[in-house]
Amino acid sequence: MSQIEELIERLCPDGVRHSRLGEVGVFHRGNGLQKKDLTDHGFPAIHYGQIHTFYGAWTRETKSFVPPEMAKRLKLAEPGDLIIATTSEDDEAVAKATAWIGNVPTAVSGDAYVFHHELDPRYIAYFFQSTSFQNQKSRYITGTKVRRISGDSMAKIVIPVPPLEVQHEIVKILDTFTDLEAELEAELEAELEARRAQYEHYRDRLLSFNETPPPDQVGHFE
């Protein structure tokens, strides 16, 4: 029996409780923040587009910032909150999420929702990547060219809610796989770069010749 199975048998012998997201937390929509407002220093900020392109399941630091005075007018995510990009051009990327586990609040842009809850933040971030979540969210996605999902719709999605001790153990395992995946990707990228350099080296050698023909013989063949 695995560690997780032992914990479940001991802590919830009647089975794991399932609840709607709206029963375990509250969704708040971001506001006002645009890409042009982002700076390299100041108050931490996350734009919804960066969730699609930069962040993984969780982060302790932000890529961008905003002026502190501007942050006072923006929606903030508290440490432990989930930040969700609610729009995309393809359904798979709708509701891509990042758990904010930094030590201070961070500002959040429009087209994003903040989910405030009492679960393990990384546990719920991994749930948002799961097949169960993807299958449930599909019925609530709307729009034509730009696809989106609302906070009210996400609140209807059902999530398993094991005890926190079980959530922590699940996160520990999934973090290990995430680290391994990143390590393998780095190794593959290094191997690809080495092969590319090798190709360029042999290409240049094979297409270069020590003897250069006289100018009047260039392009002339007997």
Q: What DSSP letter does each residue of 164-221 carry, written as one string?
A: HHHHHHHHHHHHHHHHHHHHHHHHHHHHHHHHHHHHHHHHHHHT--SPPPPGGGTT--
| DSSP H/E element including 136 | helix 131-137
Q: What is the pTM of this model?
A: 0.82
Residue with more model confidence, 60 or 183: 60
pLDDT digits (tens, 9 = 90+) for 136-182: 999 999 999 999 999 999 999 999 999 999 999 999 999 999 888 88
Distance between CA atoms of 114 and 101, rounded to whole angstroms?
Answer: 13
Confidence of residue 50 (pLDDT cuts 50, 70, 90): very high
In this prediction, residue 214 carries a pLDDT of 59
In the chain, DSSP assigns E strands to 17-20, 25-29, 43-46, 58-59, 64-66, 75-77, 82-85, 87-88, 96-100, 106-108, 112-117, 147-148, 158-161
Instruction: Quote the pLDDT of residue 145.
Output: 93
% of the chain residues with pLDDT over 70: 94
DSSP state of 43: E
Interaxial angle between packed helices 3-11 and 164-206, expressed in degrees from 0 to 180 and rounded to the nearest 10: 160
Give the model's confidence band at 217: pLDDT under 50 very low, under 70 low, under 90 confident, else very high: low
Structure tokens at 38: 């982002």
Q: At residue 210, does pLDDT exceed 70?
A: no
Q: What is the pLDDT of residue 178?
A: 87
Instruction: Count CB neighbours of 45 within 10 A.
Output: 25
Confidence at residue 218, expressed as pLDDT on a 0 to 100 scale = 53
| Distance, CA of 150 to CA of 156 (rounded, Å) | 10
- The full length of the chain comes to 222
Q: What is the pLDDT of residue 3?
A: 83
Q: What does the pLDDT average to over 31-51?
A: 95
Nearest to 94 by CA among 123, 55, 129: 129
Our CA angle for 103, 82, 26, nearest 5°, is 115
